[in-house]
Structure 1
Amino acid sequence: MPNDTSLNLKILVLGESHATAISRAAEELSLETIKAFDVRRGSPSKKFCRDQYSSLKPEVLVLAFGGTEHNIVGLIEADPKFDFYWPPFSDYCSDRHLLPASALEELLRHRIRSGLDRALDARSAFDCPAFALAPPPPFRKVDEMTLLPSAFSGLLEAGITPAPIRRKLYAMGCALMREAYASHGIPLIEAPTAALDEDGYLHRHLWGRDPTHGNHRYGSLVLDRLSEEAINA
């Protein structure tokens, strides 16, 4: 949490769980002018409390709220198992139930709304340019050592949805985030390309405590991306 003294920052990142990787990277690199906070920590309501951040004077605000919606919709296999068409991806598994992309868009758009509202509340507390941050890319596969978020622990018997389908859901989620934030004049910064393997999945060495979050090494790549896009905007 911020201290009580006024602090001029180049970049302030406010968000939820995905802000942690950036916070750890900034601390490891001893970056005094870049701070990142999971706003739920230290807040009695587990929500953004503007009084806790009133001392911070950032040049750029980055919003990292929500971001797990594509996992909620598609991390665990559904019944019936589904696939969908989503250009530019051409893959489709013909032995699965075909869902219209528009139905999945509507479901994701509804789920993204909550994180957007929380982000806009935080954005209203600062008079500076603002950006939104895309979540970490999907993982390719898990093994017996992989730990998944506790929210999914009771569902794992159904299995993990194949990676190509999760990759399309991630792309769809980012497209909808970009659209939603753009309607409020906030550009979306994509995940760093250096974090992706040749097929668009998050490199194994960049996983955080589970494969749906990035670690401090991923956070460092995000900081490089923020410096390129946010500071130079």
Structure 2
Amino acid sequence: MPDTTSVTTRSITIIGDSHIQAIKKALLDRTNAGAKPRISALRLTGKKQGDLTFDEAVAFAAQRGPEDILAVIRRGNFYNTLALIQHPQAFDLLEPGADAADLQEGAELVPHAVMKDFFTSTIQSGYVKMHRRLREASPAPVICLEVPPPKEDAEHIRRSAETFFVQNNIAEAGVTPAPIRLKLWKLQQSALAASCHELGIDYLPSPAGTRNERGFLRPEFYAPDATHANAAYGELVLRQLEAISRTPNAGLATVQEAIR
């Protein structure tokens, strides 16, 4: 467990699951280049690796100061676990205001409202409880980081799929079409942003310039797997948080505008 003694200088701490690896790699690149960043990235303990348990993260949050920043990035692959692999019954959903002509041919139409309610209830039953504990424990403001958007390149995903997807036969079943995965990512992030607003937690979108014109993660930010971003993406997230730390009284919306 990291040191939990009182913090006397403004610090940035990021706590998360697998998506935090992009940030940890960016910090390592900075260190290797001779920098001494005042930023910590801590991975929650999973089956194979991690820096601290969630209970330890709550205790750690309680020791932050009101001028510090605590950022969280958690459970970002839920929508991928749900639908990265093509389901035997192809499905699609029509977003409000979208053209029905863009729907996948032959797919079963799932009502958008039903899928929205599903993501909302899932967020409420899991993410919200975790975020509330951190928010109640920490004197520091808590910022929720948006997880990287999905990758558009199905061949990259098939070729680089993580063990979970390989074991669940992605090679034979195929990859869910990119537009559908993007719709699910949007629903997850919308539900997460709404829950953060209710808790008084700021929600920080993915860095400007990391998405292509269709809304997917740009290839230069791909990690060599199916679902994660790389150190270049993590570096841009660090710069977002550093910009916020330099303007503590400006408000997140003002800072977001300044760094775009």
Query: Please, what TM-score do these two structures have when normalized by structure 1?
Result: 0.86
Gaps of 5+ in 1: none
> Does 1:74 pair with 2:87?
no
Report the CA distance between 1:4 and its aligned residue.
Answer: 6.0
Deviation string, structure 1 residues 41-100 (Cα, Å, up to 9, x no partner): 144xx4341445666546111111111122122211123110111146543224211110
Q: Percent identity?
A: 26
Return the offset for 1:151. 2.0
Answer with 1 or 2: which has the greater Rg. 2
Residue by residue, what CA displacement relative to the aligned partner does 1:119-142 show, whole Å, maximum 9, x if unpaired? 332333310111111111100013
Shift of 1:211: 2.9
For the Cα contact (< 8 Å) 2:210–2:221, is it kept in 1? Answer: yes
Q: Given the alignment of the two structures, is residue 106 of structure 1 paired with residue 106 of structure 2, yes or no?
A: no
One-letter code of the match for 1:18?
H
Q: Is the 8 A contact 2:222 2:229 kept in 1?
A: yes
**How far 1:230 moved relative to its partner?**
6.0
**Change beyond 3 A, Cα 1:180–1:230:** farther
Gaps of 5+ in 2: 252-260
Q: Which moved more, 1:119-128 or 1:3-12?
A: 3-12
Q: Number of paired residues?
A: 231
User: Could you say if the C-alpha distance between residues 116 and 19 of structure 1 is closer, same or farther in structure 2, counting changes exceeding 3 Å?
Assistant: farther
What is aligned with 1:161? 176
Contact persistence 2:90–2:108 (CA under 8 A): yes
1:136 is matched with 148
Q: Which is further off, 165-174 or 34-43?
A: 34-43
Q: Which residue does 1:184 correspond to in 2? A: 199
1:152 aligns with one of 153, 158, 165: 165
Q: Is the 8 A contact 2:20 2:73 kept in 1?
A: yes
Q: Is the 8 A contact 2:207 2:240 kept in 1?
A: yes
**Aligned-partner Cα distance in 1 for 2:185–2:236:** 19
Select the residue among 63, 74, 82 that pairs with 2:72: 63
C-alpha contact 1:139 1:201 (8 A) present in aligned 2: yes
Is 47-56 or 179-188 further displaced after alignment?
A: 47-56
Q: For the aligned residues, what is the CA RMSD?
A: 2.4
Deviates more, 1:106-115 or 1:180-189: 106-115
Match of 1:37 among 42, 50, 61: 42
Check the 8 A contact 1:65/1:118 in 2, yes or no.
Answer: no
Aligned AA (1:220): E
TM (normalized to structure 2)? 0.78
Give the letter for the 1:14 counterpart. Answer: I
Q: Aligned-pair distance for 1:220?
A: 0.6
Matched, 1:196 2:235: no
* Equivalent in the alignment of 2:54: 47
Q: Is the contact made by 2:64 and 2:138 (CA closer than 8 Å) also made in structure 1? A: no
Query: Structure 1 residues 149, 167: CA separation in 2 closer, same or farther (over 3 Å shift)?
Result: same
